[in-house]
Amino acid sequence: MNTSDLLIKSLENEGVEYIFGIPGEENLDFLESLRTSKIKLVLTRHEQGAGFMAATYGRLTGKTGVCLSTLGPGATNFVTCASYALLGGMPVLFITGQKPIKKSKQGRFQIIDVVRMMEPITKFSKQVVDGNNVPYLVREAFRIAEAEKPGPVHLELPEDVAAEEVARVPFERTTVFPPGASQSALKTASEMITAAKRPLLLIASGANRHETHSAVREFVDRTGLYFFTTQMGKGVVDERHPRCLGTAALSDNDYVHRAIDRADLIVNVGHDVTEKPPFFMHEDEQQVVHVAYYPAQMDDVYFPQHEVIGCTAANMRSLASMITPSAKWEFGYYERVKEEIERHVYAKSDSREFPLIPQRVVGEVREALRSDAIISLDNGMYKIWFARNYKAHQPNTVLLDNALATMGAGLPGAIAAKLVRPEQQVVAICGDGGFMMNSQEMETAVRLGLNLAVIVLRDDAYGMIEWKQAGLGLDGFGLKFGNPDFVRYAEAYGAKGIRITEPGQLRDALRSCLNGGGLHLIEVPIDYVENERVFYEELAHKTQLI
Ligand SMILES: Cc1ncc(C[n+]2csc(CCOP(=O)(O)OP(=O)(O)O)c2C)c(N)n1
């Protein structure tokens, strides 16, 4: 047995099902060991796609996703997806190759210090210098990746070490149960919540992990609190819930912020400051109780006055049992805000305008999909509209990145989601800019025979930046581009291409694509005229409405 065999055995021992990636010549020993393993190789068309897929696997399963690249240029392609996993809290192991470290005839060809490159963007980055270290290095890497806050880890396997004979066995996998908070921390929190006049619950990304959602749902039901979510906390509790105030897709000044501004105490479950702020804390305005696996990072916009740290599910259950709904709580104002949200935020989802406006796109997508369908969003203007207007019914059914907020992850994320959840409908939703950053992964999806729909929202521009440019009163410049014919582009990959030409077609096309098998690209012309009308004009006047 050589080191590569032992590494593969160790990965099997950890329960790894897939390795996403692109091998180079430095990985050939590893590839040979993988050939006879039960782990499946998902060959991708760019290392970035592989990293996004592995991260999404980790996000959906809680188990470490694994991806592979060669040294130098393959490894540098991992930088964006490692950063995505780091900020987004997704467990991933990045394995990279390297030239022989003991004796090499290639000078410095292709060599950069990958271990150091990965250090600031992973939780753990090590070179395997001796095959005998593989059992502990793999165990340590998986433990660190999966521990809260989950994230990326990196192992570099040099070519000569990969080929060395070894005689070790993998370490057993162990489970570490995180402790709950102390009784006094829980007691203080429950007293603060009970004593508040208008407590409000914020559900954030950390509550979308480890089955925490059932504890959060119990908390909502037992206490009767109103709640809202961050973008990455969508779906922890069904957004059709009568006390759901929706998602803080903007950091301030939306309808939901009327409720936030009136709250004298916010119970903030699973939030960390890598997510774009769902609201800005201001001194003396309200108190925040931070409930999470790990302590809050203090920031100018986030400085909770009390923290309940440790197993979030256990802590939420304890809090629910300690809090008796108080007769002093006043939720009448939240009720009115909720009515306004239902009236204004979801307005125009039946608009007949064409090109479609974002509200109509969101409306048709929601109508077409089952409750457990997964949407995987890329980054662009439509992400704000989906975060704000799309009601998620189940946990982890809206995969979006509100942490690194990188473009290019929508399609790879959808591919991984379909592999992990083959029974669920999966749709990638991308802008024409973000889609073209990793559109080559359509070939991967076709080769894997996945039934996926990819919606490409076409505005022939980097629309989100146009919106910001206009908001600053600047002239339009530098953000328009041309596009391929998306229908023919899809066909060139062996996928089906559809162009939407009127309202209503998107919903029907989506339904038939998801019943029909195979990969479908749906080009949807979008008009972002509503950005300015809603986000600049309507919201500027909304205070008069409530
Ligand atoms: C990799 C990367 N590059 C640049 C950005 C900055 N950025 C954020 S949104 C955006 C425009 C996205 O355009 P598109 O995908 O066409 O979606 P649209 O906003 O037009 O709906 C850009 C350039 C980013 N977030 N990620």
Q: What is the pLDDT of residues 414-427, one digit of tens each?
A: 999 999 999 999 99
What is the structure's pLDDT at 478? Answer: 98
CA of 395 to the centre of ligand 1 (A): 26
CA of 465 to the centre of ligand 1 (A): 7
List 94's β-bridge partners, or say none.
Answer: 67, 154
Relative to the CA of 408, which ligand 1 atom is closest? Answer: 1
- Per-residue pLDDT at 329 exceeds 70: yes
What is the structure's pLDDT at 108? Answer: 87
What is the structure's pLDDT at 537? Answer: 87
Binned at pLDDT 50, 70 and 90, residue 175 comes out as confident
- Per-residue pLDDT at 81 exceeds 60: yes
Residues with CB under 6 A from ligand 1: 379-382, 405-408, 431-434, 457, 459, 461-465
Q: Which of 52, 401, 407 for a ligand 1 pocket mutation test, highest count of atoms within 8 Å of Cβ?
A: 407
- Per-residue pLDDT at 261 exceeds 70: yes
Relative to the CA of 383, which ligand 1 atom is closest? Answer: 21
Task: Report d(CA 162, CA 71) in Å as an integer.
Answer: 14
List all residues 6 or more positions away from 39 whose beta carbon is below 8 Å from its beta carbon: 8, 11, 12, 16, 17, 18, 19
Which residue type, as a one-letter code, is found at position 122? T
DSSP string, 341-391: HHHHTTTTTT---SSBPHHHHHHHHHHHS-TT-EEEE-SSHHHHHHHHH--
CA of 409 to the centre of ligand 1 (A): 11
Residue range 273-277: mean pLDDT, rounded: 95
Mean of the per-residue pLDDT values for the chain? 96
Structural contact between residues 111 and 181, judged by C-beta atoms closer than 8 angstroms: no
- Per-residue pLDDT at 545 exceeds 60: no
Closest C-alpha residue for ligand 1 atom 23: 462
- Per-residue pLDDT at 385 exceeds 70: yes
- Per-residue pLDDT at 27 exceeds 70: yes
- Per-residue pLDDT at 92 exceeds 60: yes
- Per-residue pLDDT at 107 exceeds 90: no
- Per-residue pLDDT at 89 exceeds 70: yes
What is the structure's pLDDT at 542? Answer: 65
Task: Report d(CA 307, CA 256) in Å as an integer.
Answer: 24
Binned at pLDDT 50, 70 and 90, residue 543 comes out as low
- How many other C-beta atoms are found inside a 10 Å radius of the C-beta of residue 183? 10
What is the strand order of the sheet 152-158 is part of? 40-43, 18-21, 65-69, 92-98, 152-158, 125-127
